[in-house]
């Protein structure tokens, strides 16, 4: 573990500060110098983000920065082990990929009429009425007209169980025993983005945020109506993100069964947010912990650390180290911007780096080339005191958003 010197609150890093880009170091110092900050933990996949770095944990007393959570509230990963082994799969996975692409809305799309939750058997006994009535209490509805609210609700309903764009993905992977896993990455879609941006803008207007080193780090303070409104919206969006992944996983499972023409058995889903807030206690101190590109390692909890579409991923169990606020990295992390990746690599590079993976290999996904991400083995080696490896997964099919 490394530390930064000269900050008001401690900054602990699971990577050499020399290897961190200057812009990200400035962001870490800015976070650590806020008067509310208890400490900052920096994961080995750290890189510059909006206000706060991606791949970091900011723990505050009686405050939270919506910019430090990010605009995809509840973004995270889900994974499921199947009873299939590699030998149960066809030699060519093209047909399976087509089935998956048809079954799960990818890109900006949603379901035409909302997902059929009853048919999918999603969360039997779950209080769906309570969940959607939570939507009616969302703080943004104070300002929206009822027509807007209806349109927003309809959109949130349609988008439930859809992937979104960017580096959200669905994958089939193999573990060391050749067992097949389903894995996916997504968050709270359009509605989470609307809520996040609205609260970030609101926080920036508050008087106590006018003299910050970076106003993108504007905070809400406990005991204020603005904080109460943010917390309510935030926790609703985090739940939406979890449900979004649940619905998609059921669609994915069904598509796999159809693609293979057989019944498949599935183990319970591992699901972890990596952009979220949780209230936790350390040494008797209650803290508001923001993980932006970091997973929880609390109580031996299972987590997912993806690398890239050519590298594969890790299933881990948490060691609960309090020094990192019981957190670990959320991935390998970007090594370069999307623009830099497009400049540096060619479609031939992409084909070489995704050999053996059934996925898109055209210029449209060049910015997602494995070489644009950090080396996953190096990232894992830097956090052996944070997580234990349960499985190493190799990607064999990847659908990008």
Smaller CB distance to ligand 5GP: residue 233 or 368?
368
Q: Smallest distance from the beta carbon of 15 to ligand 5GP, in angstroms?
A: 14
Smaller CB distance to ligand 5GP: residue 10 or 166?
166
Lookup result for tokens 């996975």: 93
In whole angstroms, what is the distance from residue 302 CA to residue 318 CA? 6
Question: Which entry of ligand 5GP, Mn ion, none binds 307, CB below 5 to 8 A by partner kind?
Answer: ligand 5GP
- Is residue 271 at the binding interface for ligand 5GP, with CB under 6 A as the rule? no
146-159 helix and 189-205 helix, angle to the nearest 10 degrees: 130
What residue spans of 261-311 are helical by DSSP H? Answer: none
- On whether 243 is known to bind a ligand per the annotation, the reply is no
In sequence order, the β-bridge partners of residue 276 are 291
* Burial of 282 (C-beta count, 10 Å sphere; 0-12/13-18/19+): middle
Size of the site for Mn ion (CB under 5 A): 3
In whole angstroms, what is the distance from residue 248 CA to residue 254 CA? 10
**What 3-state class would DSSP assign to 164?**
strand
- Is residue 398 at the binding interface for ligand 5GP, with CB under 6 A as the rule? yes
Q: Does the annotation count 140 as an active-site position?
A: no
- Is residue 395 at the binding interface for ligand 5GP, with CB under 6 A as the rule? yes
**What 3-state class would DSSP assign to 127?**
coil
Count Cβ atoms below 10 Å from residue 19 Cβ, excluding itself: 13
- Residue span binding ligand 5GP (CB under 6 A) among the ranges 58-66, 109-117, 120-128, 301-309: 301-309
Question: Which entry of Mn ion, ligand 5GP, none binds 49, CB below 5 to 8 A by partner kind?
Answer: none
- Is residue 294 at the binding interface for ligand 5GP, with CB under 6 A as the rule? no
Q: Mask 331-360, x = binds ligand 5GP (CB under 6 A)?
A: xxx---------------------------
Active-site residue identified among 47, 140, 273, 330: 330
- Residue span binding ligand 5GP (CB under 6 A) among the ranges 134-142, 236-244, 316-324, 328-336: 328-336
- On whether 278 is known to bind a ligand per the annotation, the reply is no
- Is residue 330 at the binding interface for ligand 5GP, with CB under 6 A as the rule? yes
Q: Smallest distance from the beta carbon of 389 to ligand 5GP, in angstroms?
A: 15
- Is residue 58 at the binding interface for ligand 5GP, with CB under 6 A as the rule? no
CA distances from 144 to 153, 205, 398 (A): 12, 19, 38
Q: Smallest distance from the beta carbon of 204 to ligand 5GP, in angstroms?
A: 23
189-205 helix and 225-260 helix, angle to the nearest 10 degrees: 160
The encoded tokens of residue 393 equal 């997964």
> Which of 51, 307, 318, 401 touches ligand 5GP (CB under 6 A)?
307
Task: Please write down the long-range contacts of 1-9, taking CB distance under 8 Å and 24 or more positions apart.
Answer: 1/323, 1/385, 4/28, 4/29, 4/32, 7/32, 7/33, 7/40, 8/32, 8/33, 8/34, 8/35, 8/37, 9/33, 9/34, 9/37, 9/38, 9/39, 9/40
Q: Mask 146-175, x = binds ligand 5GP (CB under 6 A)?
A: ---------------------x-x-x----
- Residue span binding Mn ion (CB under 5 A) among the ranges 112-120, 180-188, 214-222, 236-244: 180-188
- Is residue 187 at the binding interface for Mn ion, with CB under 5 A as the rule? yes
Q: Smallest distance from the beta carbon of 235 to Mn ion, in angstroms?
A: 18
- On whether 361 is known to bind a ligand per the annotation, the reply is no
The DSSP result for 208-226, as a single string, is: GGTT-S-GGG--EETTSHH
Give the pairing of strands 169-174 and 37-47.
unpaired
- Is residue 45 at the binding interface for ligand 5GP, with CB under 6 A as the rule? yes
Question: Per CB under 5 A, which of residues 39..78 are in contact with Mn ion?
Answer: 72, 75
Maximum CA pair distance of the chain? 62
**What 3-state class would DSSP assign to 247?**
helix
Size of the site for ligand 5GP (CB under 6 A): 21
Interface residues toward ligand 5GP, by CB under 6 A: 45, 54, 75, 167, 169, 171, 274, 293, 306-309, 313, 330-333, 368, 373, 395, 398
Interface residues toward Mn ion, by CB under 5 A: 72, 75, 187
Which residues carry out catalysis? 330
Instruction: Give the annotated binding-site residues.
Output: 72, 167-171, 185, 274-275, 306-309, 313, 330-333, 400
């Amino acid at each position: 573990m490394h530390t930064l010197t000269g900050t008001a609150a401690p900054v602990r890093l699971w990577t050499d500060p020399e290897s961190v880009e200057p812009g990200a170091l400035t962001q870490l110092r800015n976070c650590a110098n806020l008067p509310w900050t208890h400490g900052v933990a920096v994961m080995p996949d750290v890189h510059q983000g909006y206000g706060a770095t991606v791949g970091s944990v900011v723990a505050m007393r009686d405050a939270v920065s919506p910019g430090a959570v990010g605009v995809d509230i509840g973004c995270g990963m889900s994974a499921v082990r199947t009873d299939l082994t590699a030998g149960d799969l066809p030699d060519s996975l093209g047909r399976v990929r087509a089935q998956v692409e048809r079954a799960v809305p990818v890109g900006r799309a949603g379901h035409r009429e909302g997902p059929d939750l009853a048919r999918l058997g999603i969360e039997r006994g779950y209080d769906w009425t309570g969940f959607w009535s939570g939507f009616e209490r969302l703080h943004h509805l104070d300002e929206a007209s009822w027509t807007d609210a209806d349109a927003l609700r309809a959109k949130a309903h349609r988008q439930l169980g859809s992937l979104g764009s960017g580096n959200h993905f669905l994958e089939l992977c193999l573990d060391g025993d050749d067992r097949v896993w389903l894995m996916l990455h997504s968050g709270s879609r359009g509605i989470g983005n609307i809520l996040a941006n609205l609260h970030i803008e609101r926080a920036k207007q508050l008087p106590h945020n006018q003299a910050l080193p970076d106003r993108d780090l504007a905070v809400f303070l406990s005991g204020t109506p603005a904080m109460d409104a943010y917390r309510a919206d935030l926790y609703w969006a985090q739940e939406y993100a979890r449900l979004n992944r649940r619905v998609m996983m059921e669609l994915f499972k069904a598509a796999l069964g159809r693609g293979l023409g057989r019944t498949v058995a599935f183990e319970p889903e591992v699901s972890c947010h990596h952009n979220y807030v949780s209230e936790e206690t350390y040494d008797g101190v209650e803290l508001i912990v923001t993980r932006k590109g970091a997973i929880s390692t609390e109580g031996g909890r299972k987590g997912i650390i993806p690398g890239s579409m050519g590298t594969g991923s890790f299933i881990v169990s948490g060691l609960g180290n309090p020094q990192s606020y019981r957190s670990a990295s959320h991935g390998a992390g970007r090594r370069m911007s999307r623009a830099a990746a497009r400049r540096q690599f060619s479609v031939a590079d992409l084909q070489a780096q995704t050999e053996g993976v059934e996925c898109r290999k055209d210029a449209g996904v060049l910015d997602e080339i494995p070489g644009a991400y950090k080396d996953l083995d190096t990232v894992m080696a830097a956090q052996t005191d944070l997580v234990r490896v349960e499985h190493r997964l190799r990607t064999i099919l990847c659908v990008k958003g």
